[in-house]
A and B are shown apart, each in its own frame.
Chain A
Amino acid sequence: MKVNRKILTASVLTAVLLAACGNNEGNNTEANENAAGNTNNAAENTNNESNIENETNETNENEAEETNEAENEAGEETASETELDGELIVYSSRNEIFTDALLDKFEEDTGVEVRALHEAEPLQIQEEAGNVQADIFISNDIGGLEYLNQEGLLEESDPENIETIDEQFRADNNEWFALSTRARGFIYNKDMIEEEEVPSRMEDLLDDSYAEVENGYAITRGGNGGMIGNVSALRHEWGDERTEEWINSIQENAAGIYEGHGDIRRAVGEGTHAFGLVNNYYYHQQLEEPSDNNVGFVYADQGEGEMGAIANAAGVGLVADGPNPENAQAFLDWVLEEENQLEFVGESLEVPINPELDPPFEEAVPFSELQVQDMPLRELGNYFEDTRQLIEDAGLDLELR
């Protein structure tokens, strides 16, 4: 016991020393925490019950956070912003063109240095569970976020302004919340094909005749987050057997299989393919191009009695035990401010989830006017793993053409 205490005091001292030596680096904030944790431990040690120790430690930390928050609320936003320091590690599966402006703005507003890893996939966070690197995960697919949540890799949060996001678009304890939505459909080149000839339902793609459309159609590789969500939704609707048939059919019949949706909108715009399966906002993006922009869009499954368009959303998850928890909390609060919700949508031209906000692309069809598949988005998390398996079995994850 005595030796133990010595080590404890020594570590407390060094930790305090480290913390005193300026707060520039993320490491130091960790040290800070350690210091706090250790003092708690030391205090608890007199009662020595190691199990209880941990628990009280946690509650103490929570309390500390709460008081922190209370202070922040009291002391106006500007005060809280000047207090922040250090860095924030963001993993993002979203295209970096859409996220860079958002992250730059956060840096500007708060002084926190953001280090982003783009094109990160959810399983990287799982692989790093023993050596957590990321604070925040920005995802294009709710399935990935909810999957991580179910694996216990995300942490609950209670950010300000969370009530602006409808409950169906966030996790039970706000481990993640979505900020913008998208619906699946077909972008088509108006010079090449009439709207009536473009498929109007997902199941139309089971029909081999679409292989014979001039220049054919385009899909993404099965490893793409949007495609994973698409397949999960179909499994929910149809079951595995028919979905497998659908995967085989598009794999067989598609004239182009691309790495990302951006490639598809460009390819359809320039006439390489007649139409392509994408999210609606890629249509908005292609319309804004200076050339090759004579494109139209068909929302899938809008007829009476049909399943409705497959929806998905992009959002933010709080990674458990990340290196910079304070900055991560601050980021969640910040991103829920209305102007930043719009900044999150940014150049993607998606539709914000908060109904109070005007979509940045004015002609965007609001979700209320669409017939959307009636599946809570978080369901996607239950399908995530098996969907990847299904896609891999079909070989669509590695197919490019």
Chain B
Amino acid sequence: MSRKKEEEKNHRTQEGNFQFLQKRWRSIWNGNPPGMVLLTIGLITGILMSVPLVYVIIRSLAAGRDSWARLIGDRIPGLMWNTLSLTFAVTAFAIVIGVSLAWLVIRTDIPGRKVWQWLLAIPLVIPPYVGAVTYIIVFGPSGWMRDLWNGGVLNVFGDYPIQIYSFWGVFFVMTMFTYPYVFLIASASLRKMNRNYEEVARSQGMTTSQIFWKVNLPLLRPAIGAGAILISLYVLSDFGAIAMMRYVTFTAAIYYQRAGFDIPSASVLSLVLIVLTVIILWIESYSRRKNKFYQTSNTFRPPEILKLGRWKPLALIYVISVFTMAVVLPIFVLVYWTVVGAEAGAIDASFFEYAWNSVKVSGIAAVLCMLLALPLIYLKSRHPSFISSGIDKLSYTGYALPGVIVALGMVFIFNNHIPVLYNTFYMIAIAFVVRFLPQAMQAGEASLSLVSPRMDEAARSLGYPAWKVMLKVTLPSILPGVLAGGALVFVSSIKELPATLMLRPPGFDTLAVRVYYNASEAIYHQAAPGALLIVLVSIIPLHYLLKRY
């Protein structure tokens, strides 16, 4: 008898527990929990995206005291100095160039201001490692400039003075190909700046330069901050340009350590780089919280355009010279050597094989990203909770981290745990997914936010199950955004260098790898056609990028 009672009691408490959990579960999701399938897919994707990171951290902590002691003693301080000084210098200078250009083309009557607004964004499509090659060709120790210098009257000033393989060389190249990040963001925010503030300032007797420093610049601070973060993350993660200019930062050091298969050291250095990245991301979120600027929208008047007057020629020379250095020169060099290459037969069957390989891995990555992004963005926007935002954050890990670290993690995991895929090109495609999935997510999210949840609800009330709603109602209306995201992933993947270099299986080279190899062997006529093709493909999403800012 008593046993039966006990059983009943147990049963009841179990039921109670279950009900309690169910209630809890519903309250987490604000009464709208997602389907189990959707949640599982999202959860698995999020976790997979962060696996390489976790693996690298574990390996670095297991590296042993010896490795740590040795690295902390001599190596890390030097690398830290190299990396931070470059990051700081490039970021600072890129801000100066980006903001000044933005101000000139948006707020002044510089001739051709509409055209400049997009011409000056073009360096964005030239991967810095391609830019570096062109600068080496022109300014290198046996470059065109040297011949010009020694052949002309300039050599009375002494020997050819430019040392491209130096801190200043790397600094200049990195600045020229990253300033557009600041330029675009600053342009957008200058365009939105309300004229009223400036007029008040002017009525108080401030001069134009005072207005720039006291009114415009503070209002630009969030934009500058966002651009600075992008640039410093870029410098931290870049491998190609830095390696070609013979400079060694953390990224390059990790690459060389991994090439020699000194895995413990590579992991330790990676952990330091991860910490640096996290610090920068933290600064970003901190400054975002601190700096909130509100603009009144109801009295918005577009900003007034200033007359440059006698400064016009000088401003024009400045804009033209930046454009020349960052766009005309590299493109000219690439076209020149492509013609030379074409005459020498560099565009042969193997060139098309490399191009096809690039398209293959990038295409697979783009399709996978579009597929995986769907459940993630749906979960985030339709079922908001700390779980879905956690999944969202997890899937950004690979995006925030340098490619060398993602690749390092993938080598461990696939070699030891997934040998079937190790040394196949799928490994590269998967690395691209880990690195670029958020690009597809951002593009999709933007479209999804325009589709009212009422539409889903209507469809569900008419009897469609959740998955059918997603396929039949939501997907068609956000398809353009998803495809745009896929295109972004495709282009980023085509340009990607370090992970491709580290993960390529035997006998599988892509355009990016060939450009890197041929350029480092100084076989420019073979490097140029591939580089030019990469630049041309990268122009495709430029339109989309410009619209976004």
Q: Which chain A residues border B165 with CB–CB below 8 Å? A: 401
Q: Do B520 and A259 touch across chains, with their CB atoms under 8 A apart?
A: yes
Q: Which chain B residues border A42 with CB–CB below 8 Å? A: none
CB distance from A47 to the nearest CB of B (A): 33
Decide if A90 is an interface residue (CB 8 Å cutoff).
yes
Decide if A116 is an interface residue (CB 8 Å cutoff).
yes
Q: A116-B506, A398-B253 are in contact. Are A121 and B247 (CB under 8 A)?
A: no
Q: A121-B260, A398-B75 are in contact. Are A114 and B507 (CB under 8 A)?
A: yes
Total contacting residues, chain B, CB less than 8 A: 36
> B402-421: which residues lie under 8 A (CB-CB) from chain A?
415-416, 419
Interface string of A79-120 (1 = CB under 8 A from B): 000000000011100011100000000000000001111110
Q: Which chain B residues border A121 with CB–CB below 8 Å? A: 259-261
Decide if A378 is an interface residue (CB 8 Å cutoff).
no
Q: Do B416 and A123 touch across chains, with their CB atoms under 8 A apart?
A: no
Closest to A97 in B: B521
Q: Report how far A130 CA is from B422 CA in the complex, Å.
A: 12
Decide if B248 is an interface residue (CB 8 Å cutoff).
yes
Q: Which chain A residues border B341 with CB–CB below 8 Å? A: none
Q: Which chain B residues border A119 with CB–CB below 8 Å? A: 259
Q: Report how far A54 CA is from B200 CA in the complex, Å.
A: 91
Q: Report how far A13 CA is from B203 CA in the complex, Å.
A: 93
CB distance from A227 to the nearest CB of B (A): 12
Decide if B51 is an interface residue (CB 8 Å cutoff).
no
Q: Which chain B residues border A116 with CB–CB below 8 Å? A: 506-507
Interface string of A386-398 (1 = CB under 8 A from B): 0010001101011
Q: Do A266 and B522 touch across chains, with their CB atoms under 8 A apart?
A: yes
Q: Report how far A258 CA is from B419 CA in the complex, Å.
A: 35
Q: Report how far A166 CA is from B253 CA in the complex, Å.
A: 40
Closest to B523 in A: A97
Q: Do B521 and A130 touch across chains, with their CB atoms under 8 A apart?
A: no
Q: Which chain B residues border A117 with CB–CB below 8 Å? A: 504-507
CB distance from A261 to the nearest CB of B (A): 11
CB distance from B502 to the nearest CB of A (A): 11
Q: Do B416 and A398 touch across chains, with their CB atoms under 8 A apart?
A: no
Interface size class of chain A, counting residues whose CB lies under 8 Å from the partner chain: 35 or more
Q: A91-B506, A123-B261, A259-B520 are in contact. Are A393 and B246 (CB under 8 A)?
A: no
CB distance from A293 to the nearest CB of B (A): 12
Q: Report how far A165 CA is from B406 CA in the complex, Å.
A: 44
Interface hub of B142, B504, B508, B520 (most chain A Cβ within 10 A): B142
> B422-479: which residues lie under 8 A (CB-CB) from chain A?
422-423
Q: Which chain A residues border B78 with CB–CB below 8 Å? A: 395
Q: Report how far A388 CA is from B265 CA in the complex, Å.
A: 13
Decide if A200 is an interface residue (CB 8 Å cutoff).
no
Closest to B269 in A: A398
Decide if B70 is an interface residue (CB 8 Å cutoff).
yes
Q: A123-B261, A123-B262, A133-B423 are in contact. Are A115 and B246 (CB under 8 A)?
A: no
Q: Do B142 and A270 touch across chains, with their CB atoms under 8 A apart?
A: yes
Q: Do B141 and A270 touch across chains, with their CB atoms under 8 A apart?
A: yes
Decide if A128 is an interface residue (CB 8 Å cutoff).
yes
Decide if B348 is an interface residue (CB 8 Å cutoff).
no
Decide if B92 is an interface residue (CB 8 Å cutoff).
no
CB distance from B158 to the nearest CB of A (A): 13
CB distance from A138 to the nearest CB of B (A): 12
Decide if A40 is an interface residue (CB 8 Å cutoff).
no
CB distance from A118 to the nearest CB of B (A): 8
Q: Do B261 and A124 touch across chains, with their CB atoms under 8 A apart?
A: yes
Q: Do A267 and B248 touch across chains, with their CB atoms under 8 A apart?
A: no
Q: Do A395 and B260 touch across chains, with their CB atoms under 8 A apart?
A: no
Decide if B263 is an interface residue (CB 8 Å cutoff).
yes
Q: Which chain A residues border B256 with CB–CB below 8 Å? A: 221, 223, 397-398
Q: Which chain B residues border A401 with CB–CB below 8 Å? A: 165, 246
Q: Do A115 and B422 touch across chains, with their CB atoms under 8 A apart?
A: no
Decide if A160 is an interface residue (CB 8 Å cutoff).
no
Q: Which chain B residues border A127 with CB–CB below 8 Å? A: 261, 263, 415
Interface string of A129-142 (1 = CB under 8 A from B): 01101100000000
Q: A126-B261, A270-B141 are in contact. Are A395 and B74 (CB under 8 A)?
A: yes
Q: A127-B263, A399-B248 are in contact. Are A292 and B142 (CB under 8 A)?
A: yes
> A321-374: which residues lie under 8 A (CB-CB) from chain B?
none
Decide if B517 is an interface residue (CB 8 Å cutoff).
yes
Q: Report how far A90 CA is from B252 CA in the complex, Å.
A: 26
CB distance from A220 to the nearest CB of B (A): 12
Q: Do A392 and B142 touch across chains, with their CB atoms under 8 A apart?
A: no
Q: Do B261 and A115 touch across chains, with their CB atoms under 8 A apart?
A: no
CB distance from B510 to the nearest CB of A (A): 14
Q: Do A393 and B70 touch across chains, with their CB atoms under 8 A apart?
A: yes
Q: Do A130 and B416 touch across chains, with their CB atoms under 8 A apart?
A: yes
Q: Report how far A395 CA is from B79 CA in the complex, Å.
A: 11
Q: Report how far A118 CA is from B504 CA in the complex, Å.
A: 10
Q: What are the 7 A-B residue pairs with the smallest beta carbon separation, nearest first?
A: A115-B507, A123-B261, A117-B506, A115-B506, A270-B142, A131-B419, A400-B246
16 A–B contacts, CB within 8 A, in A order: A90-B506, A115-B505, A117-B505, A121-B260, A121-B261, A123-B260, A131-B415, A131-B419, A223-B256, A260-B520, A270-B141, A270-B142, A388-B260, A393-B74, A398-B79, A401-B246
Give A residues with C-beta under 8 Å from B. Answer: 89-91, 95-97, 114-119, 121, 123-124, 126-128, 130-131, 133-134, 221, 223, 258-260, 262, 266-267, 270-272, 292, 388, 392-393, 395, 397-401
Give B residues with C-beta under 8 Å from A. Answer: 70, 74-75, 78-79, 141-142, 165, 243, 246-248, 252-253, 256-257, 259-263, 265, 415-416, 419, 422-423, 504-508, 517, 520-522
